Amino acid sequence: MSNIEKTPESVPAVTPEAASPQAAKTDQQWRDELTPAEFDVLRRSGTERPFTGEYWDTHTQGVYQCRACGAELFTSGEKFDSSCGWPSFWAPLAEGNVRYIHDRSLGMDRVEVRCATCDSHLGHVFEGEGLGNPTDQRFCINSVSLKLVPAS
């Protein structure tokens, strides 16, 4: 009558992966999570065609997150109309949210902008175009790299 044993089976397992950085994902994991268009831009440094993206002409107030990992990257406060056909910002939400890489591909000398959290490709930044914004910079970002969270 006293052969009842306590079983430790119901102790929840601690999974250390839960705290690992998103940058550790494999290409296959990204392919599973992203649409083909998102994968091509975010993980293969592709570029969406101008005037076709979701946000190039958007004036909604809110925060633009990384489409791949959800990190907050830009806000509507720094977005401006550059008429280039891609969402344009004159600054990121904060330095440190994005990282910069010298890009000499396609015969051009450009500065690539990536998400600092997951290292996904966002677009390029151009300087000194005289567009009349506070930094004289244009962060030319693919819509498909971003997700707008409208201010409530």
Show which residues are catalytic.
140
Q: Is 115 in the site for Zn ion (CB under 5 A)?
A: yes
Q: Is 68 in the site for Zn ion (CB under 5 A)?
A: yes
| CB burial readout 32-55, b (16+ within 10 A) else e | eebeeebbbbbbebebbeeeebeb
* Contact pick of 66, 98, 113, 144 for Zn ion (by CB under 5 A): 66
The whole-angstrom separation of Cα 52 and Cα 126 is 21
- Cβ nearer to Zn ion, comparing 69 with 140: 69
Strands 72-75, 98-103: parallel, antiparallel or unpaired by DSSP? unpaired
Q: Is 113 in the site for Zn ion (CB under 5 A)?
A: no
Least CB distance to Zn ion at residue 92 (A):
12
Q: Give yes or no for a contact between 48 and 143, defined as CB atoms under 8 angstroms apart.
A: yes
Which residue in 50, 61, 70 sits closest to 123, CA to CA? 50
- Cβ nearer to Zn ion, comparing 118 with 141: 118
Stretch that binds Zn ion, among 26-34, 68-76, 99-107, 143-151 (CB under 5 A): 68-76
Name which of residues 22 to 61 contact Zn ion (CB under 5 A). Answer: none
Which parts of this chain interact with Zn ion (CB under 5 A)?
A: 66, 68-69, 71, 115, 117-118, 120
